[in-house]
């Protein structure tokens, strides 16, 4: 699976959009981009994933650049409950589906 | 939420004792996983299973064994616990299909004294 690079930490004001970047310059054509988050002491939670098109669900939007070497997770109206560590993961959708977690971005939402 | 429970949720044990952690799921997912999480290391895969009696090693499998005799249960055993195995252990299952999403349990905090 391709390696990802994320900022260690970010801050965002409550009610504003939180934009979390991820670089995955070695991504291959059949690898997907997945985002998970982990709120303190809880198990990781799936947020969204995509291959090359932008995706949106009830939690977030995922913007993938045309060359697929980077992506941005957008939380449109961040709340205090969005404070968490966010993981960007790139992997093939096949086989045993092992997730390789990096260090992630610690997002703090400030009141 | 994929109906994943882990037991026990907290355990304190002594070095050298055997410990078994249980993961139970109610969604009939084929794949199940055990991860450990330590400060500075993120989540690391210990073992995983791709079906009943079918298991394989992850990146940090030394000192651990697993068993899966039923679809719904995946057991992680520390044959002789060491202090380096003090960690938070997460079980996960995979719903294979259009999203191939992993769902995680609430975790077990294990302390080995």
Chain A CB within 8 Å of residue B94 CB? yes
How confident is residue A30, by pLDDT bands cut at 50, 70 and 90?
A: confident
Chain A CB within 8 Å of residue B10 CB? no
User: Residue A97: is its pLDDT beyond 80?
Assistant: no
Say what the pLDDT of residue A96 is.
Answer: 63
Tally: H helices and E strands in chain B:
0, 11
How much is the mean pLDDT over chain B? 92
Interface list for chain A against chain B, based on CB atoms closer than 8 Å: 32, 36, 41-46, 49, 87, 93, 96-104
Number of neighbours of residue B30 by Cβ within 10 angstroms? 16
Say what the pLDDT of residue A29 is.
Answer: 85
Q: Return the closest-CA partner of residue A108 out of A32, A11, A23, A4.
A: A11
Q: Return the closest-CA partner of residue A68 out of A38, A28, A20, A41.
A: A28
pLDDT digits (tens, 9 = 90+) for A34-91: 999 999 889 999 999 999 989 999 999 999 999 999 999 999 999 999 999 999 998 8
Alpha carbons A43 and B108: distance in angstroms, whole number: 10
How far does A12 lie from chain B, in Å, by closest CA? 23
Region of poorest pLDDT, from A41-45, B79-83, B88-92: A41-45
């Amino acid at each position: 699976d391709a390696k990802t690079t994320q900022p260690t930490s970010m801050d965002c004001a409550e009610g504003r959009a939180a934009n979390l970047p991820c670089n995955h310059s070695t991504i291959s054509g059949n690898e997907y981009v997945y985002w998970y988050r982990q709120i303190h002491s809880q198990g990781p939670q799936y947020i969204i994933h995509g291959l090359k098109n932008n995706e949106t669900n009830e939690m977030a939007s995922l913007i993938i650049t045309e060359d697929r070497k980077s992506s941005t997770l957008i939380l449109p109206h961040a709340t205090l409950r969005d404070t968490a560590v966010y993981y960007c993961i790139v992997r093939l959708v096949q086989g045993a589906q092992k997730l390789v977690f990096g260090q992630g971005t610690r997002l703090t939402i400030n009141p | 939420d994929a109906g994943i429970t882990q037991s026990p949720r907290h355990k304190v044990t002594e070095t050298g004792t055997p410990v078994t952690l249980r993961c139970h799921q109610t969604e009939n997912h084929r794949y199940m996983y055990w991860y450990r999480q330590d400060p500075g290391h993120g989540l690391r895969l210990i073992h995983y299973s791709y079906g009943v009696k079918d298991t394989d090693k992850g990146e940090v499998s030394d000192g651990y064994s697993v068993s899966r005799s039923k679809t719904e249960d995946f057991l992680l055993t520390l044959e002789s616990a060491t202090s380096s195995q003090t960690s938070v252990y997460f079980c996960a299952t995979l719903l294979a299909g259009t999203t191939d999403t992993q769902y995680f349990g609430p975790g077990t905090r294990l302390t080995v004294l």
